[in-house]
């Protein structure tokens, strides 16, 4: 009986596994395919294109969701089929508009960030902040240019003063800085 208990405790020795240290893996050089993949991804045109496509997909999903929430003004007088058609059209309009806006913002932001990163030869959060300023400025410039085609000079100046809030909004709501800070620490 004493022999059976000693083999049971000897066979299940959990203390020996806790004392062992994990093996250190040797440093592995990247393969040629991995280097080619990094070179392709480091190309600013590829990054911008991919960000534009992903932004368009996000805008499409956002537009579909928000378009479904629109209620017709004359909901009581509309039949179920008319309400369905109205909602489908709203979802289509919203998703197309959101997809275009998100794609353009993603493209401009990613291109600006990549160019700034290569020009500064640094990878830090300042690149993200500067890219946000460029993106907000580009959107503001488009709005001012569009307004200049339709308005007089005084109205353009008033519009520029009001629209500068857009650049500040892009900076204030730039959650990518927070995300980048988190990812750099935890990757």
Per-residue confidence (pLDDT) for residue 50, from 0 to 100: 93
Query: Between these two residues, 158 and 75, which has the higher pLDDT value?
Result: 75
Specify the residue for token string 């208990």. 5
Task: Name the residue with higher pLDDT: 122 or 155.
Answer: 122
Phi, psi (degrees; rounded to nearest 5) at 174: -80, 85
pLDDT tens per residue across span 30-69: 899 999 988 888 898 999 999 999 999 999 998 888 887 7
Kindly state the tokens that stand for 25: 């893996």
How far apart, in whole angstroms, are the C-alpha atoms of residue 86 and residue 77?
13
Q: Which residue has the higher pLDDT, 148 or 139?
A: 139
Q: Could you tell me how many helices (H) and strands (E) the chain has, helices first?
A: 8, 0
Query: Of all helices (H) and strands (E), which one includes residue 7?
Result: helix 2-11
Average pLDDT of the residues in 153-157: 55
Q: Check whether 174 has a pLDDT greater than 60.
A: no
The full DSSP string for 30-70 is PPHHHHHHHHHHT-HHHHHHHHHHHHHHHHHHHHHHHHHTP
pLDDT in tens, 58-108: 999 988 888 877 776 766 788 888 888 888 888 888 899 889 988 998 999
Whole-number average pLDDT of the chain: 76
Domain layout of the chain by residue ranges: 44-122, 124-177
The rounded distance, in Å, linking the Cα atoms of 152 and 60 is 35
Summarize pLDDT for 101-121 with one digit per residue, the tens.
Answer: 889 989 999 999 999 999 988
């Amino acid at each position: 009986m004493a022999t059976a208990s000693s083999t049971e405790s000897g066979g299940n020795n959990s203390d020996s596994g806790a004392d062992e240290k994990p093996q250190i893996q040797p440093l592995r050089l990247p393969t040629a395919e991995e280097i080619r993949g990094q070179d392709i991804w480091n190309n600013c045109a590829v990054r911008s294109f991919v960000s534009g496509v992903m932004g368009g997909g996000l805008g499409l999903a956002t537009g579909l969701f928000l378009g479904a929430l629109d209620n017709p003004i004359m909901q009581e007088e509309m039949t179920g089929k008319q309400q369905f058609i109205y909602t489908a059209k709203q979802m289509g309009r919203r998703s197309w508009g959101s997809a275009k806006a998100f794609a353009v913002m993603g493209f401009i932001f990613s291109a600006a960030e990549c160019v700034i990163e290569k020009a500064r030869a640094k990878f830090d959060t300042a690149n993200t902040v500067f890219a946000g300023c460029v993106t907000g400025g580009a959107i503001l410039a488009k709005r001012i240019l569009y307004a200049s085609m339709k308005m007089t000079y005084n109205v353009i100046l008033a519009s520029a003063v009001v629209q500068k809030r857009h650049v500040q909004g892009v900076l204030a709501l730039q959650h990518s800085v927070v995300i980048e800070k988190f990812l750099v620490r935890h990757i």
